[in-house]
Structure 1
Amino acid sequence: MVGATVEDHRRRILAGVEPLGRSDTVPLGEALGRVLAADVVATLSVPPFDHAAMDGFAVRAAEVAAPPVELPVAGVVAAGDDAPPLPRGAALRIMTGAPVPPGADLVVPFEWTSGTDPVRVLRTADAGRHVRCEGEDVRAGESALAAGTLLGPAQLGLLTSVGAASVAVRPRVRLAVVSTGAELVEGQVPDSNSPTLLAAGRAAGADAVAYGPAPDDPAGFRAQLTAAVEAADVVVTTGGISAGDHDVVKAALADEDGFWFGPVAMKPGRPQGCGALAAADGRRVPVVTLPGTPIAAYAGFLLYVVPLLHALAGSPWRPVTAPLAAPVPAGDRTVLLPGVLDDDGRIRPLPGHAGHSQRLLAAADALLVVPPTGRLVPAGTPVEVLASVGSPVGSPV
């Protein structure tokens, strides 16, 4: 195998990366997809008071311990009512969510009764049945969610219930994309890498801005790169890292301490590079250099930059896998193939020339990561899949 492995290069890029130190405070309505920067302590208990878990009759368990028992109905308690005390030897008709009356310790579901007045209780249970007690889920003063939690719909619901109106979250990572190539600057070829990678970065939760295309001369490229470093938390470049006469990225950065350029055993996307540059405020800004071919740039972004964005944001990331729908040949390097999902959730490579076809990529649900086993990978084998938000296979984002 020639070159570093995909796993080696991913580890190289992530080595020593720590979450950004700053935080933002945002209202809950703007917190979806963000990561908590601090524990959230409940100011309200969940539930906030003892309430009925079912429609039925609130009673004293001791008074209905030997059914059948007939009790007069002393009133009705609905959700939002103030519950009156339960008279001895009586029942109160109660609705789901209504406060349990003082003196009651059991809610007998309608199905266990005659439903009439007086009510005939035909079946009973121990005290506490069908009653949700104050604070049984979360008590005021407890930690409701820990720092590092990714906020989805369920987490936002819990935060609302415990009384949080706003939360401290880790910042959105600032991503800069610098594409290179004289053909892009002169308008001979549209710069498709910038919108593709900006969209992939935003799908990963980053604030993404383009600083390019940059010209094919080291001074002009370095000026745009410097502007990107000053404004961003991570910089991605595309193109200019092979062995040609105009590989401006490699020429401009090869002598920088800590930068690495070389082959990675993957197809497409063999030339790769990474390092870090110092900003004027002392920050060390990671720089990931990707090939210029659109599919190779996109594959490298999903393989390497998405995990880096998560590491900087302090949010969890793990590879997404799906079983192969059919056998796939493998060689001595990792191969990335556009694929589609079958109805059973298995992923199947699309036929065609995958290494350069943007049309094929646009028709795909994801990129399959075929491991370098050197032999046929059987159907049913789980393989890593790379996809942006919106793909039916989900996303490592």
Structure 2
Amino acid sequence: MTDPACAVDEHRARLLEGVTALDPEVVPLAEALGRVLAADVAATLSVPPFDHAAMDGFAVRAADVASVPVALPVSGAVAAGDPVTPLVPGTAVRIMTGAPVPPGADLVVPFEWTTGTDPVEIVQRADAGRHIRFEGEDVRAGEAALAAGVRLGPAQLGLLTSVGATAVAVRPRPRLAVLSTGAELVAGHVPDSNSPTLLAAGRAAGADAAAFGPAPDDLAGFRALLAAAVDTTDLVVTTGGISAGDHDVVKAALRDDPGFWFGPIAMKPGRPQGCGVVDSSDGRRVPVVTLPGTPIAAYASFLLYVVPLLHALAGTPWRPVTAPLAAPVTAGDRTVLLPGVVDEAGAIRPLPGHAGHSQRLLAAADALLVVPPSGRLVPEGTPVEVLALHPRSQEGLDG
């Protein structure tokens, strides 16, 4: 008698249970691109660091130009990086964008509002504070510039540099091992398409991914490769060898290990699944996720189950992404994953064809629709979970 099939959400929750973010490390900003902050970063410098001109013009007192036109003698000039002296009341200082505003000045009048001569005639009035960027108006020294959990891109690195940070505490990139199995792969009779597919998917999710294998269909050879993968990575994903066949080496090697689970999931493709934890030689408890060997099932399962795990290890929040159906679909008695394309409005339409085994169909898709079981027609416009297959489709789905 076979075990009852587990629901997709139940299996995903089982995989995430007990997984915590990797211990932080401190790295220079130059090495922090793409990493996730492990702690809040407080500004040591204000942004801007001092009051400065937002435009080329003349620094003046607003009280001196309350009525226009008015002519003021030019008492000096200041450019970005120049030392600055206090403004003499009743005069104007020629000032360039980015230059410090002279003490006593509270307004920058753009060149376009003046004659540009000496004395300078100002023909348009403005209130105090106009065209000045004030010290700390963006970020004040001592306040949080970025919060823990933020992934660092170019803009975030620019901000951290501006507030005086030179190094930050970040989560390590999860180290992912992809271990394919199968004598047909070892012998070269069938190309190992799972490894490059899942390595690319792991790297797209922010992991440092490495291939192990393919492993032969014998216990000793598989265990040796698994031990090497566990000792050098934070998460191991295997493909193939978990069904009920005579040569299903992954299941044979691990099914009796404490804490390992193998069983059916109520999904198509990807019914056989498994997971557990293996001890490394340095005492770490490394999660192992065992996926089916069929390329479509392996990739779909990776997006469903492994990507959330990588987020958990990296300390970044993960949430399912949804999109409305652009056309009705018929739900079955289990979760079905269908290749689809995203339209300009962000709705997703399933592609016609046999989705369970066609790599060509998958390559033409933007995303996989995750259609939960109901046995009923799911109407157009219904939001469903979607798994983006490449960055362009993710941008469309996120709006």
> What TM-score, normalized to structure 2?
0.92
Deviation of 1:277 (Å) = 1.2
Q: Is the 8 A contact 1:368 1:385 kept in 2?
A: yes
Amino acid across the alignment from 2:17: A
Q: Residue 256 of structure 2: SS of its match in structure 1?
A: coil
1:91 paired residue number: 92
Q: Which moved more, 1:286-295 or 1:382-391?
A: 382-391
d(CA) in 2 for partners of 1:391, 1:262: 34
d(CA) in 1 for partners of 2:275, 2:247: 19
> Once the two structures are superposed, what CA deviation does each residue of 1:133-172 show, in whole Å capped at 9, x if it has no partner?
2122223343322332211122111011112233232111
Deviation of 1:111 (Å) = 4.8
Aligned residues: 395
Deviation of 1:45 (Å) = 1.9
> Once the two structures are superposed, what CA deviation does each residue of 1:327-353 show, in whole Å capped at 9, x if it has no partner?
222122221112222233322222211
Q: Which moved more, 1:365-374 or 1:289-298?
A: 365-374
Establish whether residue 163 from structure 1 lines up as the match of residue 132 from structure 2: no
d(CA) in 1 for partners of 2:320, 2:127: 48
Q: Is the 8 A contact 1:366 1:391 kept in 2?
A: no
1:265 paired residue number: 266
Establish whether residue 196 from structure 1 lines up as the match of residue 203 from structure 2: no
Q: Residue 198 of structure 1: SS of its match in structure 2?
A: helix
1:286 paired residue number: 287
Q: Residue 349 of structure 2: SS of its match in structure 1?
A: strand
Q: Is the 8 A contact 2:325 2:348 kept in 1?
A: yes
d(CA) in 2 for partners of 1:389, 1:85: 57
Deviation of 1:294 (Å) = 0.3
1:64 paired residue number: 65
Amino acid across the alignment from 1:239: G
2:19 paired residue number: 17
Equivalent pairs: percent with the same residue?
79
Amino acid across the alignment from 1:310: H
Deviation of 1:114 (Å) = 5.0
Deviation of 1:242 (Å) = 1.5
d(CA) in 1 for partners of 2:260, 2:397: 27
Q: Is the 8 A contact 1:318 1:396 kept in 2?
A: no
Q: Residue 298 of structure 2: SS of its match in structure 1?
A: helix
d(CA) in 1 for partners of 2:217, 2:333: 33
Amino acid across the alignment from 2:73: P
Q: Which moved more, 1:50-59 or 1:6-15?
A: 50-59
1:7 paired residue number: 9
Q: Residue 211 of structure 1: SS of its match in structure 2?
A: strand
Deviation of 1:183 (Å) = 1.4
Deviation of 1:22 (Å) = 4.5
Deviation of 1:47 (Å) = 0.6
Q: Is the 8 A contact 1:40 1:145 kept in 2?
A: yes
What does 1:174-185 align with in structure 2 at a 5 Å threshold? 174-185=175-186
1:344 paired residue number: 345
Q: 1:93 to 1:377 in 2, by over 3 A?
A: farther
Amino acid across the alignment from 2:128: A
d(CA) in 2 for partners of 1:266, 1:154: 40
2:102 paired residue number: 101
Q: Structure 1, unaligned stretches of length 5 or more?
A: none
Q: Is the 8 A contact 1:387 1:395 kept in 2?
A: no
Q: Is the 8 A contact 1:33 1:150 kept in 2?
A: yes
d(CA) in 2 for partners of 1:391, 1:293: 25
Establish whether residue 146 from structure 1 lines up as the match of residue 147 from structure 2: yes
Q: Residue 55 of structure 2: SS of its match in structure 1?
A: coil
RMSD: 2.3
Amino acid across the alignment from 1:31: A
Q: Residue 340 of structure 1: SS of its match in structure 2?
A: strand
Q: Structure 2, unaligned stretches of length 5 or more?
A: none
> Once the two structures are superposed, what CA deviation does each residue of 1:15-62 show, in whole Å capped at 9, x if it has no partner?
011111242x33323322101233333332211111012333211122
> What TM-score, normalized to structure 1?
0.92
Q: Is the 8 A contact 2:24 2:170 kept in 1?
A: no
Q: Is the 8 A contact 2:366 2:389 kept in 1?
A: no
Q: Which moved more, 1:277-286 or 1:89-98?
A: 89-98
Amino acid across the alignment from 2:244: A
Q: Residue 391 of structure 1: SS of its match in structure 2?
A: helix
d(CA) in 1 for partners of 2:299, 2:32: 28
Deviation of 1:209 (Å) = 1.5
1:250 paired residue number: 251
